Amino acid sequence: MRRKGTAMIKFIWAGIACLALAGAAMAKETNMIKLPPPDMQGGKPLMQALKERHSTREFGARPLPQQILSNLLWAAAGVNRPQTGQRTAPSARDWREIDIYVTTADGAYAYVPDEHALRPVLKTDIRARTGMQDFVATAPLNLVYVANLERMSGADAESQALYSAADTGFIAQNVYLYCASAGLGAVVRGLIDRDALAAALGLGAHQKVILAHSVGYPKSEGE
Ligand SMILES: Cc1cc2nc3c(=O)[nH]c(=O)nc-3n(C[C@H](O)[C@H](O)[C@H](O)COP(=O)(O)O)c2cc1C
């Protein structure tokens, strides 16, 4: 009887230990910054957004509200079919190899489409490192499109370059169209010191910076 009791106590302690471990793992996950659900209603009609899409290189300092950032990232490459995890932008062989890094005055984050959340990457302002033009240091938001080559199974180097560039283009155009719809300015950029930016973001050899995208309210709004 006593033996049975000891075994039960051991069993309970083992359970508590398991729960503690699970709790620690969850705490790690809670580093994630959950974005508000994207507003999928409204916006300008597609033809009007296409009519208004253009590049802007002068931005006001006003940061983007979290709801706008949520909408923007969802439009860029958010999940629009939860049953499959597929996204607003197509990707070759459904590799979903393009990660979007978000850089602001507060730091750098990686967008996690499946959770519609931001994973903190850096607490420093590396906006100036995302490009070689003066305005990038002050644009409230600079997105960085990074291809994770490990997800492009079976692709040789030429295919990796071709498809990661094409897949980035779809995402970038989604961003342009959302910006046109929401009255934001934007310019996609290739003029980047890619090695310096990869080092700043702590990227691995399998991660390639493709393009960056500056976004903000147009300076003409007087800010
Ligand atoms: C792949 C790509 C790379 C670009 N790189 C830069 C860049 O580094 N800096 C910049 O100011 N504009 C850049 N642009 C923006 C183009 O200069 C701009 O799209 C072009 O002048 C046409 O203007 P629009 O976008 O207003 O139609 C780039 C555009 C693309 C598609």
Q: Supply the pLDDT for residue 17.
A: 43
Ligand 1 centroid to residue 55 C-alpha, Å: 7
How far is it, in rounded angstroms, from Cα 178 to Cα 8? 59
pLDDT in tens, 6-64: 554 454 444 444 344 343 333 345 699 999 999 999 899 999 999 999 999 999 999 99
Residue 222: is its pLDDT beyond 90? no
Q: Supply the pLDDT for residue 23.
A: 37
How far is it, in rounded angstroms, from Cα 213 to Cα 199? 18
Ligand 1 centroid to residue 213 C-alpha, Å: 10
> CB–CB of 190/211 below 8 Å?
yes
- Paired with 143 in beta bridges are 102, 213
pTM of the model: 0.88
Please choose from 132, 188, 213 the residue to mutate so as to test ligand 1's pocket, defined by most ligand atoms within 8 A of CB. 188
For atom 7 of ligand 1, the residue with the nearest CA is 189
Element counts in the chain: helices (H) and strands (E): 5, 9
